[in-house]
Structures are given as C-alpha cells and as structure tokens.
C-alpha cells in the first residue's frame, strides 16, 4: 500500500511538473518572433506618433499595405504619410478602432478595404497582434471562450513536444497558430519606414492568385462601421474618404452585378465621400502578385499616381501645401 501511494504521488508530481512546464511555454513563442508580419504594427504606430499632424493616413488591410508608395504621396502632397494597412483578418471593428486611436486634428484618412470584409475578424490573429503591440488589446473585446480554446490548443502542443523531448525523439510536425511562416515573404522586415510592404518587389507572380471569389450579394455591415469611424474622426477634426480596392478586371466582370449593387449601397448609405469609381481601381491580372488585391511593383506605381490624383482633386491646395 505504501509503495502504491509513493508511486501514485510520484506520478501525480510528474504530471503536475509536465503541465507546469507546458503552461510556462504556452503563448511565449509569439513574442519572440521579432520579424513576424503582425509586429509591423509597432513600427506603423511609432511613425504615426513621430510625424504628428496634420498627416495622411492610408488605412485598410493588406490591400493598402501592398499597393501604395507612401513616400511618393508624401513628396507630392507635402504632407507626411503613414500606411496603417496590415491584414483584413483583424476585422473591420478592430481596424476602425485603430484608426480612431491614431487620428488627430487636421489628418486626411484614405480608407480602402477588400469587398464584403468581415466585421469581427479572426480572434487568434487579433490576440497574436496584441502580443506584439499591447495597445491593440483596446481595439477588440476580450473573449473568454476563444482564450480557452487558444490556450488549450497550445498547452496540448507543448505537452506533446515536452513528452517527445523526454523520450529523446524529434518533435512531430506542429500545427502552429503562427499566422505567417518564417519562410514566407510576409515579414516585419518586408515593410519600409512609411508602413508600405515592399517585400514582394521583384518577385514573379504566383501561379494562381488567391481571393478570386465569386460574391453573393448581401448588405454589408461594414458600412455601419465606416460611418462610426466617420463620426469619431470628424469629432477629432480629421477628414475621411473611401477608395475602392485595386481589383482584377476579369474578377470585376464576373462579379459586376453584385458589385454594382454594393456600389449603390455604399453611395447611398456612406456618410462621407467615395473618391473615384470602380473603373479607376481595375487592373489587368498580370499586375497582381499573389492575391486579387495585392499589386506588383508596376501596379503600385499606377495605383499611387491614382491616389495622388484623387487627393489633389478632393483636398484644397492651400490645406495640403500649408505644412
């Protein structure tokens, strides 16, 4: 009986130590990935703080991160520019809250995002981003159920890794929640000082573009989020404008009916101006890099000149050149 109790006690102690070790390692790996794509939010906010106001804020998802030459806009408009675009996976609500936080009096905000984008985003990506940039915790709501799921999955993976290590065996392939693999071009170092992603410049187009979706029409709740953004930044003395995302001509033709209804909804319900139209944001498929929203360098040049023209037409010369 005594031996049984001793063995039981040792077993329980071993299990407790195993779980404790796994818990210590749970969630710690993300912060160590300094070159992680989402860590670029640190640099974008640092630039926004440094350049002050008035400034031009380019905002949205990776579609604006990939598609703009902010330095060219800054030189032409004589206003400092920061590109806040990172990932639509963060969701409209998160992105809107981030812009509200950054916007100041006198700022010009150009917002552009992929069609029918999700409002809530991916919780694990938002949490992942906040581990790099803690202030981002204020851009989304804490979800206990999601937190439990994330910690349980990581705890399981770490326990398996520790067991394999104790057995002297190599760790099995890990289905990590890290959003961007280290071998990918999607890295923090792929961004320039303005917040533009340039890591794909000079690379050939991938064999098959991603996000080539055939849409079904629905009323986009993102309009409500955009109008909330307008109310908030207007109260701070900033001006907000919307521009449709860069998109392949062929994909627009395939979705023409749905996107025409989308445009009607936007022009009827948005409480701030839309600059330009669909035609100005359509490009040949050959100018895209890896998705239907990410342009190659040649496309970035054209897109940037288009943005400059829209800003010049909308903002009075005296306001822009004052700085």
Please provide the DSSP assignment of 259-296 as one string: HHHHHHHHHHH-SSPBPS-SGGGEE-GGGBSSBTT-B-
- For residue 301, give both structure tokens: 């040049």
Tokens 């989304």 found at: 140
Q: Is 148 exposed, middle or buried (0-12, 13-18, 19+ CB in 10 A)?
A: exposed
The SS3 assignment for 16 reads helix
Distances (CA, A) of 184 to 36, 157, 197: 10, 22, 13
The per-residue pLDDT for 259 is 98
Contacts of 227 (CB under 8 A, 6+ apart): 269, 270, 271, 272
Judged by phi (left if over 0) then psi (alpha if -120 to 50, else beta), residue 204 lies in beta
Tell me the whole-structure pTM to 2 decimals: 0.83
Give the residues across from 110 on adjacent strands.
58, 241
The DSSP annotation for 141-178 comes to: ---HHHHHHHHHHHHHHHHHHHHHHHTT-PPPPP----
Cβ(81)–Cβ(55) below 8 Å: yes
Bridge pairing between strands 56-60 and 81-83: parallel
Q: List the chain pLDDT tens, one digit each, 323 residues.
A: 555 555 554 444 444 443 444 344 444 455 458 999 999 999 999 999 999 999 999 999 999 999 999 999 999 999 999 999 999 999 999 999 999 999 999 999 999 999 999 999 999 999 999 999 999 999 999 988 888 888 677 655 655 555 545 445 555 555 444 444 445 899 999 999 999 999 999 999 999 999 999 999 999 999 999 999 999 999 999 999 999 999 999 999 999 999 999 999 999 999 999 999 999 999 999 999 999 999 999 999 999 999 999 999 887 543 444 55
Select from 322, 94, 38 the least CA-distant residue to 228: 94
What is 34-142+180-313's CATH number?
Answer: 3.40.50.1110
């Amino acid at each position: 009986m005594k031996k049984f109790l001793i063995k039981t006690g040792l077993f329980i102690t071993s299990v407790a130590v195993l779980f404790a070790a796994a818990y210590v390692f749970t969630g710690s790996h993300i912060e160590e990935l300094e070159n992680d794509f989402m860590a670029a939010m640190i640099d974008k906010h640092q630039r926004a703080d440094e350049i002050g106001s008035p400034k031009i804020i380019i905002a949205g998802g990776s579609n604006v991160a990939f598609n703009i030459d902010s330095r060219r806009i800054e030189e032409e408009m004589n206003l400092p520019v920061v590109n806040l675009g990172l990932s639509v996976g963060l969701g409209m609500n998160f992105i809107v809250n981030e812009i509200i936080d950054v916007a100041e009096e006198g700022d010009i905000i150009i917002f552009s995002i992929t069609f029918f984008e999700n409002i809530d985003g991916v919780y694990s990506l938002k949490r992942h981003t906040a581990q790099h940039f803690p202030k981002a915790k204020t851009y989304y709501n804490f979800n206990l159920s999601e937190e439990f799921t994330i910690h349980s999955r990581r705890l399981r993976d770490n326990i398996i890794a520790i067991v394999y290590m104790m057995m002297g065996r190599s760790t099995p392939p890990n289905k990590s929640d890290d959003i961007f693999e280290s071998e990918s071009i999607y890295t923090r170092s792929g961004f320039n000082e303005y917040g533009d992603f340039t890591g794909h410049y000079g690379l050939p187009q991938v064999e098959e573009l991603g996000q080539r979706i055939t849409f079904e029409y629905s009323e986009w709740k993102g309009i409500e989020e955009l109008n909330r953004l307008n109310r908030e930044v207007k109260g701070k003395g900033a001006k907000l404008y919307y521009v449709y995302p860069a998109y392949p001509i062929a994909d627009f033709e395939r979705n023409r009916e749905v996107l025409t209804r989308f445009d009607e909804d936007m022009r009827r319900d948005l409480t701030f101006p839309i600059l330009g139209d669909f035609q100005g944001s359509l490009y040949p498929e050959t100018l895209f890099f890896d998705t239907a929203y990410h342009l190659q360098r040649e496309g970035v040049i054209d897109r940037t000149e288009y943005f400059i023209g829209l800003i010049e037409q909308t903002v009075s010369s005296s306001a822009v050149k004052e700085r």
